[in-house]
Amino acid sequence: MNEQQNHKGFVSKIGLVLATAGAAVGLGNIWRFPTTTGQNGGAAFILVYVLFTLVLCVPGMVAEFIVGRNGACAAKQAYAKAGGKKAWGLLGIIGMIACSVILGFYNVIAGWTLYYLGMAVGDQVLGDPEHVAEGFGAMMSSMWIPSVMGILFMLLTHGIIVRGVQNGIEKASKIMMPLFFVLLIVLIFAGFTLPGAWKGVEFLFKPDFSKVTADVMFEALGQAFFSLSLGAACLCTYASYFRKDVNLISSTAQIVGIDMSVAILAGLMVFPAVFAVGVEPNAGPGLVFMTLPNVFYQAFPYGVAYVVSVLFYALLALAALTSTISLHEIGTAVIAEEFKMDRKYSAWIITVLCSIITVLSALSLGPVEMGFFGMTLFDNFDSFASNMLLPLGAFCTCILVGWVMKRETVVEQLTSGGLFPRSGLFINTFFFLVRFVCPIFIVAIFMYKMGVL
Ligand code: PHE
DSSP labels, 270-291? HHHHHHHHT--TT--TTHHHHH
Determine whether 230 is exposed, middle or buried from the number of CB atoms within 10 Å of its CB (0-12, 13-18, 19+): buried
Structure confidence at residue 7 (pLDDT): 57
Q: Angle at which helices 248-277 and 407-414 pack, to 10 degrees?
A: 70
Closest-lying ligand 1 atom to the alpha carbon of residue 390: 9
* DSSP states along 331-385: HHHHHHHHTT--HHHHHHHHHHHHHHHHHHHHHHHTTS---STTS-HHHHHHIII
The rounded mean pLDDT for the chain is 90
Taking the CA atoms of 294, 295, 296 and 299 in sequence, report the sign of the dihedral they define: positive
Which pLDDT score is estimated for 420? Answer: 93
In ligand 1, the atom with minimum distance to the C-alpha of 327 is 10
Residue having the nearest C-alpha atom to atom 6 of ligand 1: 229
Measured CA to CA, the distance from residue 21 to residue 256 in angstroms comes to: 8
Q: What is the pLDDT of residue 241?
A: 84
The closest residue, in CA terms, to atom 4 on ligand 1 is 28
How many Cα atoms are found within 13 Å in the side-chain-facing hemisphere of 425?
Answer: 0
Q: Ligand 1: distance of its center to the CA of 208 in Å? A: 28
Which residue puts its alpha carbon closest to atom 7 of ligand 1? 229
Determine the distance separating the centroid of ligand 1 and the alpha carbon of 192, expressed in angstroms: 28
One-character DSSP codes across 390-424: HHHHHHHHHHIIIIIS-HHHHHHHHTTTTTS---H
- 397 pLDDT tier (thresholds 50, 70, 90): very high
pLDDT in tens, 57-94: 999 999 999 999 999 888 888 999 999 999 999 999 99
Contact 330, 312 (CB under 8 A): no
The pLDDT score that the predictor gives to residue 171 is 66
Residue 90 burial by Cβ neighbours in a 10 Å radius (0-12, 13-18, 19+): middle
Average pLDDT over residues 277-299: 91
- 10: helix, strand or coil: coil
At 173 the pLDDT is: 64
Predicted local confidence at residue 277, as pLDDT: 87
In the chain, % of residues over pLDDT 90: 71
Ligand 1 centroid, distance to 323 Cα (angstroms): 6
Q: What is the pLDDT of residue 13?
A: 67
Q: Which of 102, 256, 323 has most ligand 1 atoms within 8 Å of its beta carbon, as the pocket-test mutant?
A: 323
- Predicted local distance difference test score (pLDDT) of residue 169: 55
Q: What is the mean pLDDT of residues 157-185?
A: 76
**pLDDT given for residue 334 in this prediction:** 84
For ligand 1, the distance from its centroid to the CA atom of residue 277, given in whole angstroms, is: 29
Residues with CB under 6 A from ligand 1: 24, 26-29, 99, 102, 226-227, 229, 232, 234, 323, 326-327
Ligand 1 mean position, distance from CA 142 (Å): 27
Residue 388 has pLDDT above 60, yes or no: yes
Atom of ligand 1 nearest to the CA of 28: 4
Q: Which residues contact 280 (CB under 8 A, 6 or more apart)?
A: 38, 274
**Residues 123 and 396: beta-carbon distance below 8 Å:** no
Residue owning the nearest CA to atom 11 of ligand 1: 229
Nearest CA to ligand 1 atom 9: 229
pTM given for the model: 0.92
**What is the whole-number distance in angstroms between the Cα of residue 389 and the centre of ligand 1?**
13
Q: Which amino acid is at 197?
A: A
Name the residue at shortest CA distance from atom 8 of ligand 1.
Answer: 229
